[in-house]
Structure 1
Amino acid sequence: MSNETLNWTAVCKVGDILPGTGVCALIDDHHVAIFRLGTDTFYAIDNIDPRTGVSVLSRGLIGNLGEHLVVASPIYKNHFDLRTGACLEAPEHSVRTHRVQVEGDEVLVALS
C-alpha cells in the first residue's frame, strides 16, 4: 500500500516521546501505542492488552527476547513483538501493528 492511499494522522511531536519509551494516542476511537527506539526509529501497535482489555501497552517495558524487539505488558508481562504484533507467549493474543512515519518534527500514524 503506498503512502498516498494511507490516512496519516499526526499524533505528537518527535520530542514528546523520549527514546526507549512509548505514548498512547487515540485515532478514530482506536487506542494506539507508539514507541521510540533510539533517536529516529518508531513502532506502533494496538495499545489494548488483549488479555485484559485495558489500554496499557504504551506503558510497558521495551527490550529484546532473542531476535524479537518487544514490549512487555505492564499487567501480565506478555511480550508483544513491535515489528509484527505477535504475542510471544500466546499467539491468540497478538495485536495489530500500524505504520509510523516522521515528517519534520511530527510523528504520524496510519491505522492498519
Structure 2
Amino acid sequence: MSSFNQVNPAVSQNPWQPVCRQADLVANSGVVVWLDGAQVALFYLPGQEQTLYAIDHHDPQANANVIGRGIIGRIQGQLVVASPLYKQHYVLSDGRCLETPEQQLRTWPVRLNGEAVEIARG
C-alpha cells in the first residue's frame, strides 16, 4: 500500500484527493492506495490514450482485495484487468465484469497533477 498525505475531507473542499506520487506507480501494473477508507487499485498504462485508471481493489467473486494484482489485457478492444483468483475480466473504464454482468467494480476519475496522483471523491 502506498500512503501519501492523508487529507481530512472535512477540512478540504477540493474533490480531488492526492493518493500517491507518480514515482509510486508501476508501468503496466497495479498499485493499491487508500481513499476515504477504501482500497483502490491504480493502473498506470503509459502509451495508452488514457494512462491512469482507478478501480475498486475488492473482487466480489472471490470476496478478497486482489484486483490490484491482476493482469492487464484487451478483450474485444477494451482494456481489462483479470482478477488473479477466478480470472473474471473487469473493464478498467467502467468496472463492468465481462463474464458476470451483474457484478461491477466501482471506478473513480483519476489524474496526474504535477507529480501527484489524485482521485476524485464522490
Fold equivalence (TM over 0.5):
yes
> Structure 1 residue 111: deviation in Å?
3.4
Higher helix share: 1
Structure 1 residues 57-68: aligned runs within 5 Å: 57-68=67-78
| 1:92/1:8 CA distance change after superposition, 3 Å | same
The letter for the 2-side match of 1:27 is: L
Which of 51, 55, 59 aligns to 1:45? It is: 55
The answer to whether 1:54 aligns with 2:67 is no
Identical aligned residues as a percent: 42
Gaps of 5+ in 2: 1-12
Give the RMSD, CA atoms, in angstroms: 1.6
Q: Is residue 99 of structure 1 aligned with residue 106 of structure 2? A: no
- Give the superposition deviation at 1:97: 1.0
Q: Report deviation, 1:10.
A: 0.9
Cross-structure match for 1:83? 93
> Which amino acid in structure 2 is aligned with residue 81 of structure 1?
V
Query: Unaligned regions of 5+ residues in structure 1, if any?
Result: none
- How many residues of Structure 1 are paired with residues of Structure 2 in the alignment? 108
More strand by share: 1
TM-score normalized by structure 2? 0.82
Following TM superposition, where does structure 1 have runs of at least 4 consecutive aligned residues deviating by more than 2 angstroms?
none
